[in-house]
Amino acid sequence: MDSFCNFVKTFNIFILEDNINKAVELIKNARQITAFTGAGISVESGIPPFRGEAGLWNKYDPMVLDINYFFSNPKESWGIIREIFYDFFGNAEPNKAHFVLAEMEKNNLLESVITQNIDNLHQEAGSKTVHEFHGNSKKLICVDCRTVYKVGEISIKVLPPKCKNCNGLLKPDFIFFGEGIPQNAYIASVDAANKSDLFIVIGTTGEVMPACQIPVMAKQNGAKIIEVNPEFSKFTNSITDVFLQGKATEVMGKLSDALF
Ligand code: NAD
Ligand code: ZN
């Protein structure tokens, strides 16, 4: 059994090396590259995904992120939000995969990152053009006058936090269930899907609508798709051209070694 397991392991490493070479060729020959990231890229920074065994929804009720629930119960909703997004994950730092994407942009190998994440880690790693499909937890927005604050500017010791301008209710500047996608991010993402000839999709199940339509749109417009994920996703057997099976830091580290 042991020797069979070793055989499978060696075989998988061989496939990964071969696919890394294919990915590098695609990257070197591409005209415009976009990265599309999900919760998986931040798992090795200590932020769990929503779904799956270690997912947040096994511990918390997603109701706290429903916009109607938030407006009816801002204090209760904020209590859980503070625990998840500010106490637990507030100090998470970017990992190798975030840094490699920033390095690729600096070297003109990447046009932009479209992220479903709200953790600000792409920007903290140095990425400049980031389209935040679901907003950003490091900012708070007044639901009345729309003033935006950085998290550190406002105390969240007493909940719910209030606007310094108009005393309105402050909400994290990410989208809740029942809210629309920020228009600027949506337009920029569709534009990237229309113009890019290569998408690098990292750490996403491809189950969240309408974000999951963006790589599909790119594929329909002729883009090649490289996917990085330890598990198969909705994309793997449908739109993916080169599947790099593994953790984001490991795979992006290998890509970086081959590129730079
Ligand atoms: P998801 O929770 O549905 O799935 C996570 C994916 O990451 C899975 O496909 C899993 O196989 C993969 N994964 C796990 N570990 C990985 C690793 N080390 N390297 C690479 N991939 C790994 O995530 P989703 O598809 O992004 O959708 C969930 C939604 O939840 C998103 O819209 C996002 O806004 C939000 N979310 C954000 C954060 C964050 O900001 N970091 C965290 C949790 C959820
Ligand atoms: Zn206000």
Does 141 share its domain with 253? no
Amino acid 15: pLDDT: 84
Any idea what the CATH number is for the domain that residue 152 is in? 3.30.1600.10
The pLDDT of residue 89: 84
Number of domain units in the chain: 2
Q: Which domain holds residue 209?
A: 1-46+93-133+181-260
Residue after which a domain boundary falls, among 146, 174, 202: 174
Nearest ligand (C-alpha, residue 146)? 2
Q: How far apart are CA 4 and CA 18, in angstroms?
A: 21
Pick the residue whose CA is nearest to atom 9 on ligand 1.
205
* pLDDT at res. 226: 98
The last residue of one of the domains, among 174, 204, 229, is 174
Clarify whether 131 is annotated catalytic: no
Q: Is 157 exposed, middle or buried (0-12, 13-18, 19+ CB in 10 A)?
A: exposed
- Give the bridge partners for 245, in sequence order: 229
By DSSP bridging, strand 112-115 and strand 130-132 are parallel
What is the per-residue pLDDT across 214-224, written as a single tens digit (0 to 9) for each? 999 999 999 99
At residue 71, what is the residue type?
Answer: F
Q: How many helices (H) and strands (E) does the chain have?
A: 8, 9
**pLDDT of amino acid 3:** 61
Cβ–Cβ under 8 Å, residues 70 and 176 = yes
* Cβ(189)–Cβ(35) below 8 Å: no
User: What CATH number corresponds to the domain at position 29?
Assistant: 3.40.50.1220
Please give the pLDDT value at position 165. Answer: 96
Q: What's residue 234's pLDDT? A: 97
* Residue stretches of the chain with pLDDT short of 50: none
Give me ligand 1 centre to Cα 37, in Å. 8
Neighbouring-strand partners of residue 132: 115
Kindly state whether residues 105 and 121 are assigned to the same domain.
Answer: yes
CB-based pocket (< 6 A), ligand 1: 38-44, 47, 49-51, 55, 116-119, 134, 203-205, 207-208, 228-231, 233, 247-248
Q: Which helix (H) or strand (E) holds 153?
A: none
Same domain, 210 and 116: yes
Distance (Å, whole) CA 163 – CA 247: 41
